[in-house]
Amino acid sequence: MPRHHKILVLVHPDCVPPDTIEGLTDEQMAPFKTEFDVVATLKNLGHNVRVLGVATDLGEIRRAVDEFKPYVVFNLLEEFAGVGVFDTHVAAYLEALHQPYTGCNPRGLMLAHNKGLAKMVCRYHRIPVPAFHVFPVGQRRVVPPKRLQYPMIVKSLTEEGSVGISQASIVNDEAALAERVRFIHRKVGTDAIVERYIDGRELYIGVMGNQRLQTLPVWEMDFSGLRDGAPRIATGKLKWDEEYQKKIRLATGRAKNLPDGLDTLLPRLAKRAYKALQLSGYARMDFRLAEDGGVYLLEANPNPQLAYGEDFAESAETAGIDYDQLITRIISLGRRYRLIGQA
């Protein structure tokens, strides 16, 4: 098999990376850092790379595929037409073109994007998840089922990246619950999912593969810099405000001092959830380790952040997979994934 290939990289038009980042600040680079890191690495590996900014026209993808005839499409789109969950349709369109692509398949994206549906699937497969309830947009009466106990956390059912999550998302009574559910309905514009809030350690584990799966070392977000009594959750401010991150000395890294057996239990649960949700390519599974030792899957995140130096790449490097190897492996998984309709 030839080493160098034609690779079409799909990005949001606002994230088309420049040829060089020389002279740019971290703040200026932030919107396209992932895209730059991936494209620069592909070029350094000797591939013939074409970048396509896609906003609202799927036809642009078909025209580029027909003209360029890529070996694989490296899919970095996190939304389509301004809607996060519409990245599912991009993957489905690539499948309809019988075009190999990187990342998760549309069935896995659809299941994982709907946090309620994902939890139902995992619960069926006896993967522990927090108790939850969904309040659809338009539902006026916000009364939790009796099985749900306070404190609870209120989130968007489908938005990712901590959209709509703040310290006010933790609620302790019915009035606060109703107010926060209406906030999600009104401001975020999606259904709301309400879960039992589990205080404890936030642990991440990367998974790569289609049928045969590999897990990466367990990673942890350290909340010790938060003020006393603040909920230990990844709010939108904590996740995206670099000044705030510096202020609270936010750190992530390989999890240390895990309870006995957890370093084998977490990879096993992560793989089971990955398979149950029909994921492919690569994903990050988010867990909570409760103070009583219980472990709960919070979310499955297909196609997580791929920038060099971010958690997924750092975890892979800890496992002996450098960034060049990581990008190459993701391409290989995309090529090996059996598309619907293939013999």
pLDDT tens digit sequence for 176-187: 999 999 999 999
Say if residue 1's pLDDT is above 50: no
Distance from C-alpha of 256 to C-alpha of 293, rounded to nearest angstrom: 15
The confidence score (pLDDT) of residue 270 equals 98
Contacts of 126 (CB under 8 A, 6+ apart): none
Whole-prediction pTM: 0.93
* Region 1-28 average pLDDT: 89
The whole-angstrom separation of Cα 223 and Cα 234 is: 9
Q: Rounded distance, CA 21 to CA 30, Å? A: 11
Asked if pLDDT for residue 189 goes beyond 70, the answer is yes
pLDDT value for 223: 78
Quick count: other Cβ atoms within 10 Å of Cβ 103?
Answer: 29
pLDDT, one tens digit per residue, over 122-143 is: 999 999 999 999 999 999 889 9
> Residue range 72-83: average pLDDT?
96
The single-letter DSSP state of residue 337 is S
Return the pLDDT at 222. Answer: 82
Q: What is the pLDDT of residue 228?
A: 72
Lowest mean pLDDT among 1-10, 224-233, 255-264, 302-311: 224-233
For residue 36, what pLDDT is reported? 97
- Output the average pLDDT for the chain: 92
Q: How confident is the model at residue 341 (pLDDT cuts 50, 70, 90)?
A: low
Summarised one tens digit per residue, pLDDT across range 140-173 is 889 988 889 999 999 999 998 778 788 889 999 9
pLDDT (average), residues 266-273: 98
Domains of the chain in start order, with CATH, are 6-103 (3.40.50), 129-196 (3.30.1490), 199-336 (3.30.470.20)
CB 238 within 8 A of CB 245: yes
- The stretches of 142-261 forming alpha helices (DSSP H) are 174-183, 236-240, 242-247
Give the pairing of strands 6-11 and 48-53: parallel
**Polymer length in residues for the chain:** 343
pLDDT greater than 60 at residue 289: yes
Output the CA torsion 160→162→165→167 (10° steps): 160
Q: What are phi and psi of 316, to 5 degrees?
A: -65, -40
Per-residue pLDDT of 304-324, as tens digits, reads 999 999 999 999 999 999 999
